[in-house]
Structure 1
Amino acid sequence: MNELKTDPRWQRSDMMEDRPKPPASQVPTLADVAVAAGVSTATVSRCLNSPDRVTKKTLQIVMEAVDRLGYSPNYSARALAAGRTNTIGAIIPTMENAIFARGIQAFQEELQQNGCTLLVASSSYRPDLEEEQIRTLTVRGADALLLIGYQRDERVYEFLKKRKIPAVMTWVADPEKDLLSVGFDNKQAMRALADMVLEHGHRSIACISAETGANDRARDRVHGIRQAMEAAGLDPADLKVEETQYSIENGDSAFRKLMSGPRRPTAVMCGNDVLAVGALRAAAAMNLRIPEDVSITGFDDIELASVAPVPLTTVHVPHRRMGQCAAQTLMSALEGGNPESIALPTTICLRETLGAAPGLAKPDRTEHRVEK
């Protein structure tokens, strides 16, 4: 109902919020509004659904009657008649930082252009809570769902299949998965960044990651680093990984743990920009120079990366394009189309936090520019 409060046709209804609801037998109907306004029910319907098709005077009379009677359109009845609610659900792991904000914003904008409303839930990285939210959103009428990643119990996919609810997996791309997705290959994206870190002469590399047990994106990013190490002749088992939850504070704490051992890494690769900024904060507190003493990298290229005290080398994820394509894909599925999965490219943003390994000559720094 939030969209009603921002629609100028409904601004007057805010004054009705404190009125007691009438008994069901006294709930005003469309016909009651028509009688009160002295117009036909068809005219009332046009005022509510296509106000540009009536005169300003008629619209004012009808909306005054709507306000006076406290009439609310029966959207449930409309949805039942149409077989659709034009409501799309999105379940994201967290709302506590900006990792998913840009993509979800673009997703919502595209849905709005198609006459759909977005409902968002946050699972707090808990598979059990996500499953509950999936069932709740669908039971309450969501026509389709946006989900993050592939990893969830098979019974969830069976539930969606039986109810014929289209779902698109985002922030992931794997052609071997028989699931509709719009995203990118986390493993290859992180491997490309790890290759660059190795090209800068780093041989002692560590990683700060989200907990990988129930997070396939985090797990693939760690695997990407290990693949790059193995290709460079290093033992991937030597990669020291600190797993933690996404936050600046946790990135700070994990970095301090990595740097407290007998063999300090010369490069710390972080699973996202939030963790990386926490690592930068810890490095500053420890009087470590970036990148002369240690290099730090992130992942995502959210706004925080470019405004960090030392601009962060990171992987640019096309968040907005992903959100737009995900919405278009779901709309196509709802209209009876047969949309295909979309794999989007990522780009490395080489900024100031990645430098040569201590004791090595500084390599050429080529700026990798990306479109935002």
Structure 2
Amino acid sequence: MLGDVARLAEVSTATVSRVYNEPDKVSPSVRERVLQAASALNWIPNAAGRALASTRTHIAGAIIPTLDDQVFASQVAGMQAVLAERGITLFLGCSNYDPTQALTQVRAMLARGVEAIAIVGEAHPPELFDALTQARVPYAITYAYRDGSPHHCIGFDNRAAFVEITEHLIGLGHRRFAAVIQPAQGNDRVQARMAGIREALERHGLAVRPSHMYEGPATIAFGRQSLRAIWQGSEKRPTAIICGNDQLAIGVLLEAGELGIKVPQQLSVTGFDDVALAQEIHPSLTTLRVDTAEIGRRAARYLLDVLDGRENVESCVVQPVLKIRESTARVSGSKK
């Protein structure tokens, strides 16, 4: 069948092989001609044969924490778009926020010959990174960045991001805060976000009361549940709630409507990620926008550079952007 494709496309069998093994070495017009011929003949190259012939598998991997969050889906889409241009298939693993599952997924991918892997976050067992090092498989940490990390990071400083959003609220005159955030155990991004909130508040002699700190699933339902508990269980109610992501913040906004709480007149609310619904909900959500698709694209380009022998040792920061919308306002009576 390889020969039939070559004859129909009017190229050599070696050119057909290059189209699938080293597509960047074939002109776009020839590559398109070969792909059309293969499609017409319903021919698909044998992956095992390709790997043996080229000593490459043309497979990359990505380990994400969950399939339920669009920010990780966006990152995967960005990676896949770049890798597909080079004829590389992307395998996807989901750890469900369990470092042990992430290790299992990495080992399974290495057994299947992945050439490079992107992994969300640094909070993984040492055995995971040891396995990648021993297999000489390049990897990138995504959706996180910190100075001094031993890993190549492509993402943003979660601590600094939450310092910024907390300082924004303090600048609006807020002094009583609540926080609704995802589980911190085994999640270095959430740990850094909580550290950012504490750092900014301590700088102004402030703190979140234990009764105003809620940690749980990153869902709309938990956001609603948390606001109800905060509002019904405290005489000194907060004037601002910092949420670990937009799903939690949207839940807070919805529950505020149910409870008759005026946002932002009585309560300011912030999120993180800038999902599509953040702009559409009323009031629209003040949040930090992260270009997760760009994180995926940059991760894929970095891994391809390493595979091509062009390793760039510098990590890459994709800076979040504060989007100020209707859900935050100056505290009534506070001075500018």
TM-score (norm: length of structure 1): 0.79
Using the alignment, how far apart are the partners of 1:337 and 1:307 within structure 2?
43
- Percent of aligned pairs sharing the same letter: 30
Is residue 303 from structure 1 mapped to residue 303 from structure 2 by the alignment?
no
Is the partner of 1:100 in helix, strand or coil? helix
| Equivalent residue pairs, number | 326
Which of 38, 59, 73 aligns to 1:87? It is 59
Which of 273, 282, 303 aligns to 1:330? It is 303
Is the partner of 2:293 in helix, strand or coil? helix
Residue 227 of structure 1 contacts residue 236 of structure 1 at CA under 8 Å; is this kept in 2? no
Q: Which residue does the alignment assign to 2:326? A: 352
Using the alignment, how far apart are the partners of 2:32 and 2:306 within structure 1?
37
- Of 153-162 and 130-139, deviating more is 130-139
Q: Which residue does the alignment assign to 2:263? A: 290
Pair 100,63 (structure 1): closer, same or farther in 2 beyond 3 Å: closer
Using the alignment, how far apart are the partners of 1:296 and 1:187 within structure 2?
19
Q: Which residue does the alignment assign to 1:166? A: 138
- Of 220-229 and 95-104, deviating more is 95-104
Using the alignment, how far apart are the partners of 2:82 and 2:266 within structure 1?
45
Pair 236,176 (structure 1): closer, same or farther in 2 beyond 3 Å: farther
Residue 92 of structure 1 contacts residue 122 of structure 1 at CA under 8 Å; is this kept in 2? yes
Is the partner of 2:70 in helix, strand or coil? coil
**Alpha-carbon shift at residue 87 of structure 1 (Å):** 1.4
CA shift digits 1:149-201 (9 cap, x unpaired): 11011111001100011110011111211101101000001101100111111
**Alpha-carbon shift at residue 121 of structure 1 (Å):** 2.1
Q: Which residue does the alignment assign to 2:219? A: 247
Q: Which residue does the alignment assign to 2:251? A: 278
Is residue 152 from structure 1 mapped to residue 124 from structure 2 by the alignment?
yes
**Alpha-carbon shift at residue 115 of structure 1 (Å):** 2.5
**Alpha-carbon shift at residue 41 of structure 1 (Å):** 8.1
Q: Which residue does the alignment assign to 2:104? A: 132
- Listed as ranges, the gaps of 5+ residues in structure 1 are 1-28, 364-372
Q: Which residue does the alignment assign to 1:368? A: none
Using the alignment, how far apart are the partners of 2:228 and 2:303 within structure 1?
43
Residue 71 of structure 2 contacts residue 292 of structure 2 at CA under 8 Å; is this kept in 1? no
Using the alignment, how far apart are the partners of 1:83 and 1:259 within structure 2?
62
Structure label with greater radius of gyration: 1
CA shift digits 1:23-54 (9 cap, x unpaired): xxxxxx657x68x99x9983994798589549
CA shift digits 1:195-227 (9 cap, x unpaired): 011111111101111100111111111111110
CA shift digits 1:115-149 (9 cap, x unpaired): 22222222211222111111111211211111111
Using the alignment, how far apart are the partners of 1:181 and 1:47 within structure 2?
32
The letter of the residue matching 2:13 is: A
Using the alignment, how far apart are the partners of 1:47 and 1:217 within structure 2?
41
Is the partner of 1:124 in helix, strand or coil? coil
Residue 316 of structure 1 contacts residue 346 of structure 1 at CA under 8 Å; is this kept in 2? yes
Residue 207 of structure 1 contacts residue 239 of structure 1 at CA under 8 Å; is this kept in 2? no
- Listed as ranges, the gaps of 5+ residues in structure 2 are 21-25
- Structure 1 segment 99-114 matched on structure 2, within 5 A: 99-114=71-86
Using the alignment, how far apart are the partners of 2:139 and 2:149 within structure 1?
14
Residue 172 of structure 1 contacts residue 182 of structure 1 at CA under 8 Å; is this kept in 2? yes
Using the alignment, how far apart are the partners of 1:195 and 1:55 within structure 2?
53
Is residue 343 from structure 1 mapped to residue 317 from structure 2 by the alignment?
yes
Is the partner of 2:273 in helix, strand or coil? coil
Is residue 219 from structure 1 mapped to residue 191 from structure 2 by the alignment?
yes
Residue 310 of structure 1 contacts residue 353 of structure 1 at CA under 8 Å; is this kept in 2? yes
Pair 72,299 (structure 1): closer, same or farther in 2 beyond 3 Å: closer
TM-score (norm: length of structure 2): 0.87
The letter of the residue matching 2:120 is: I
**Alpha-carbon shift at residue 320 of structure 1 (Å):** 2.7
Which of 99, 105, 118 aligns to 2:90? It is 118
Between 1 and 2, higher relative CO (CA 8 Å, sep ≥ 6) is seen in 2
Q: Which residue does the alignment assign to 2:239? A: 266
Residue 179 of structure 2 contacts residue 208 of structure 2 at CA under 8 Å; is this kept in 1? no
- Of 146-155 and 74-83, deviating more is 74-83
Is the partner of 1:150 in helix, strand or coil? coil
Residue 226 of structure 1 contacts residue 239 of structure 1 at CA under 8 Å; is this kept in 2? no
Is the partner of 1:315 in helix, strand or coil? strand
Pair 139,55 (structure 1): closer, same or farther in 2 beyond 3 Å: closer
